[in-house]
Amino acid sequence: MARLWQVTKLIRSKNAGPFELTFDVIFKDHETYEKVRDAKLINAEWFARTYRLTPEVVSIIHYDAASAIKITIPRPAISGDIDDTDVFGGQQYGPLVDLEVP
């Protein structure tokens, strides 16, 4: 069983402005991307559970041109606010790295 990091070129998180957090999962090859995309491994329910949100606020976009899946959620705290832990939003992708790929 492969893990997500093994089939991707890059998994990253980053601010999309101070109020949103975005994740990019960029696959090494298009076939694996399609397989993971179609298996809905990365879905709104999983994100909602992991990042404690309602599934309705999770946006998931399949970006065929780059064999990538993009997920955007409201930021857990506004960037740089007193309760924020990660000003750039750059270290929030940890839970994705070892996801099992079917």
Partner 1 sequence: MNEIRIVSATGILGSGFREETLKRAMSLEPHFIGADSGSTDPGPHYLGSGETLFSDSAYKRDLRLILLAARAAKVPAIIGSACTSGSDPQLERLVGIAREIAREEKLSFRLAAIHSEQNKDYLKRKLHEGKITPLANAPEFSEQVIDRSAHIVGMAGIEPFVAALEHGAEVVIAGRSSDTSIFSAMPVMRGLNPATVWHAAKILECGAACVVMRKYPDCMFATVRDDHFIVEPPNPEYRCDPASIASHNLYENSTPYELVEPSGVLNTFSAKYEAVSDRAVRVSGSTFTPAARYTIKLEGAELAGYQSVLIGSVRDPIILRQFDSWLAGLTRAAQDRIAAVFGAGIEEKYQLDVRVFGRNATMGALESETRIGHEVGLLFQVTADTQERATALIKSVSHIAVHYPVPEWTGLITSIAYPYSPAEIARGASYRFNMNHVVAPASPLEMFSIDYQQV
Which residues form the interface with partner 1 (CB under 8 A)?
A: 14-20, 22, 24, 26, 50-52, 59, 61, 63, 65-68, 70, 72, 74-88, 91-92, 94-95
User: Given the complex with partner 1, which of 38 and 64 has the nearer CB atom?
Assistant: 64
User: Given the complex with partner 1, which of 1 and 82 has the nearer CB atom?
Assistant: 82
User: Given the complex with partner 1, which of 31 and 81 has the nearer CB atom?
Assistant: 81
Token pair 């992708």 is found at: 93
CB 13 to partner 1: min, Å: 10
CB 49 to partner 1: min, Å: 10
> What gap in Å lies between CA 102 and CA 85, rounded to an integer?
32
CB 87 to partner 1: min, Å: 4
Helices (H), 1-102: 30-39, 44-50, 94-97
CB 71 to partner 1: min, Å: 10
Question: Are the beta carbons of 1 and 79 closer than 8 angstroms?
Answer: no
Nearest Cα to Cα of residue 15 among 6, 7, 26, 23 = 23
Please state the φ and ψ torsions of residue 4, each to the nearest 5 degrees. -55, -40
